[in-house]
Amino acid sequence: MNTRSRSLAWLCAGLLASAAAVAQPKKEVTIAHQDMNVPFRTVMESGELEKATGYKISWRMFGGGGDVIRAMSSGDVQIGEAGSSPIAAAASQGLEVQLFWIIDDIADAEVLVARNGSNITKVEDLKGKRVGVPFVSTTHYHLLFALQQAKVDPKTVDIRNMRPPEIAAAWERGDIDATFIWDPVLAKVKANGKVIVTSGELTKAGRPTFDGMIVSKKFAQEHPEFMVALVKALAKADSEYRANKAAWTADSPQVKAVAKWTKADAKDVPASMALYGFPTMEQQLSSAWLGGGKAGGAARALADTSAFLKEQGRVQAVAPDYSVFVNPGFVQKALGK
| CATH number of the domain that residue 76 is part of | 3.40.190.10
The mean of the pLDDT values for the chain is 93
Banded pLDDT at 14 (limits 50, 70, 90): low
- Is the pLDDT at 8 greater than 90? The verdict is no
Same domain, 117 and 165: yes
- Average pLDDT value for residue range 223-246: 98
| Sequence-ordered list of residues with C-beta below 8 angstroms from that of 63, at least 6 positions apart, any chain | 34, 35, 134, 163, 164, 165, 166
In 3D, which of 57, 82, 60 has the Cα closest to residue 261? Answer: 60
Shared domain for 270 and 235, answered yes or no, is yes
Residue 132 within a domain: yes
Query: Would residue 2 count as lying in a domain?
Result: no
Out of 173, 188, 204, a domain closes at 204
- With respect to residue 6, please indicate whether it lies within any of the assigned structural domains: no
75 confidence band (pLDDT: 50, 70, 90): very high
Structural domain containing residue 144? 110-204
Q: Which of 204, 233, 267 is the last residue before a domain boundary?
A: 204
Q: What's the rounded Cα separation, in Å, for the pair 321 and 270?
A: 38
User: Residue 20: its pLDDT value, please?
Assistant: 45
Q: 122 and 174: one domain?
A: yes
Q: Are 332 and 285 in contact (CB under 8 A)?
A: yes
Together in a domain, 234 and 271: yes
* Count of structural domains, the chain: 2
Q: Alpha-carbon dihedral of residues 319, 139, 291, 236, nearest 10 degrees? A: 140
Together in a domain, 149 and 38: no
**Does 125 reside within a domain?**
yes
Same domain for 176 and 238?
Answer: no
Residue 251 maps to a domain: yes
Note whether 38 and 62 are same-domain residues.
yes
Query: How many other C-beta atoms can be found within 10 angstroms of the C-beta atom of residue 282?
Result: 12
* Residue 26 confidence class, pLDDT cut points 50, 70, 90: very high
307 and 228 assigned to the same domain? yes
> Does 271 reside within a domain?
yes
pLDDT band, very low/low/confident/very high, at 206 (cuts 50, 70, 90): confident
Is residue 96 domain-shared with residue 217, that is, in the same domain?
yes
Confidence of residue 11 (pLDDT cuts 50, 70, 90): very low
With a pLDDT cut of 70, the percent of the chain lying above it is: 93
Residues 169 and 234 both lie in one domain: no
279 with 216, same domain: the answer is: yes
Give a yes or no: residue 5 inside a domain: no
Query: Which residue, of 163, 187, 204, is where some domain finishes?
Result: 204
Say if 13 falls within a structural domain.
no
**Shared-domain flag, residues 179 and 94:** no
Question: How large is the average pLDDT for residues 275-303?
Answer: 96
Q: What is the pTM (predicted TM-score) of this model?
A: 0.88
- Amino acid 25: pLDDT: 82
